[in-house]
Chain A
Amino acid sequence: MRYGRGPDVLSDLSFSLAPGSFHFVTGPSGAGKSTLLKLVYLAATPTKGQVRLFGHDTARVTADTRPRLRRRIGVVFQDLLLLEHLSTFDNAAVPLRIGGHRPAEYRADVAELLSWVGLGERMHAMPATLAGGEKQRLAIARAVVNRPEILLADEPTGNVDHEMALRIFRLFVELNRLGTTVLIATHDQDLVARSGKPILHLEHGRLERRTAQKPATP
């Protein structure tokens, strides 16, 4: 995989994520973690090779099928991509609206989820007035609000404190228990180590499988 005429960002990569699995993607900055996630959420197509998603070759997916596949994936973007002119509640509800649900069907669920991520008192607030950690939690709420089959998160705990990071991680684990396949790109080695989940480590564009070593409890 490369951008334009640039060097290969990812090469010789081959892996599959079993339904219901939980993986971390680690690696130094520029190793290709975000690109790997983009390949999965259909924001990029591989220059060579094949990415198969829900039984479809992503490079050959038709314009009609692409949105349907995307609705089955929840993404926490590294740059969050919150809509500045919409309230916290409206931002969180975006995937449900796109999915064609009626407000009466999801109002209570969105409110409950926002409360759960600690934004219960900020539902009316506009993103510009939210703190960095609050924005991140909002982005996470939006990604999981429609119980996606795959959850991709790019540095989801980058701007939150340790306690909130653990709380968010528990949310991901809970979703994973309910059947969601989770793939998280992170630099948070402590979180990865505590999780005990398998790791896809990227370095110089190549992939290495690792297993988290749980730190010894003092």
Chain B
Amino acid sequence: MSEAFDVGRWRPAPFLPERESRDVSLIFVVAVLCFLACLTAMGVIAANRAAAGWTGQLTGEATVIVRPVGGETPDAAAARAAEALAGVTGVSEARALEPAKAYDLIRPWLGDVSDLADLPVPRLVAVTLDPKHPATARALGQALKTQDVDAVVDDHSIWIKDIRRAGDVVRWLGAGVFALIAGAAAAVIAFATRAGLAARRDVVEVLHLAGAEDGYIARLFQVRFARLAGLAGLVGAAGAGLVGAVLRLLGGGEGLTPALPLAWSDLLAVVPCPLLAALVAAVAAQITAIRLIRDMR
């Protein structure tokens, strides 16, 4: 036997059913999109940091290739170059690399050759620049010229340009993928709103004829889909956060993601996802609902 109806405890039921079978598939699709969006966001942040790190390392250093002049030994030429460079403003340290280091650098190209010592391998001077006010390649070249050292200064500017460009490409690519995913989520929600409105035409009709404004009816759908998308965003963000945490635990910048040094703070990128998903859903549902309600008139 059913319980007696208690008028005093009655609370208005929502005009739209709280749960519908199609909600599960909508939540799943939006959650997957949010998951991908969060992974993209974390990837972009990590790539950004990687590019900044590489650029920083390259801008902080210069390499000088020294060729001996006259009867001077290569080691003496390198030592003289290092001495000349150490006195330049904006240079923190200038150090002539031991021949073994230079051999190590060219070994990948020539292989493990036993008579490597007989080759005329140029000596290298590693210059560490002042990170705040680094010396320019021109200033370094000028200092070497003054000391009559035959040398070529490589300030890594060619690489820096490429790395910066690569960093920009990754950033824009990430932003593009993120925008695409957000657009896809909005389209899915708009489609779901349309389907929801079609399925709940009875509610729209009754409320309309009872004198509800278009905005009132649209808000019902807006709140409903924002709530669903928020929930889906939470699921997607949690999934992406979990994957990020696992990647970080398995090595961060050295383990599974050497090219993308993931930091714990990058996981915070998933935090706004549920709110953003709810916002996108609210806007998409509002626009779709208003348009459809006007068509229904």
Which A residues contact B (CB, under 8 angstroms)? 41, 43, 63-64, 67-72, 75, 77, 81, 83-87, 89-90, 93-95, 97-99, 103, 107-108, 110-111, 123-124
Contacts and interface: CB of A to CB of B under 8 A. Distances in A.
B57 to A, nearest CB: 63
B7 interface: yes
7 contacts: A43-B209, A70-B208, A77-B209, A83-B203, A93-B12, A107-B7, A124-B3
Interface in B190-238: 202-203, 205-214, 216
Contacts of A90: 12-13
B209 A99 contact: no
Given A83-B202, A85-B17, A70 B10 contact: no
B5 A123 contact: yes
Contacts of B206: 81, 83, 94
Closest 3 CB pairs of A and B: A71-B211, A70-B211, A124-B5
Given A83-B206, A85-B17, A124-B5, A107 B212 contact: no
B114 interface: no
Contacts of B207: 94, 98
A81 B203 CA distance: 9
Contacts of A75: 209
B212 A81 contact: no
Given A81-B202, A89-B5, A99 B211 contact: yes
Contacts of A97: 12
Chain B interface, DSSP helix/strand/loop, else mixed: loop
Interface in B1-50: 2-3, 5, 7-8, 10-13, 15, 17
Nearest to B8: A107
Nearest to B18: A85
A207 B17 CA distance: 43
A19 B203 CA distance: 30
A69 B213 CA distance: 11
A103 B12 contact: yes
A67 B211 contact: yes
Interface in B72-98: none
A73 to B, nearest CB: 8
B211 A123 contact: no
A124 B4 CA distance: 8
A77 to B, nearest CB: 8
Nearest to A85: B17
A201 B23 CA distance: 49
A174 to B, nearest CB: 22
A87 B279 CA distance: 32
Contacts of B211: 67-72, 95, 98-99
A71 B216 CA distance: 14
A54 B5 CA distance: 39
A95 B5 CA distance: 21
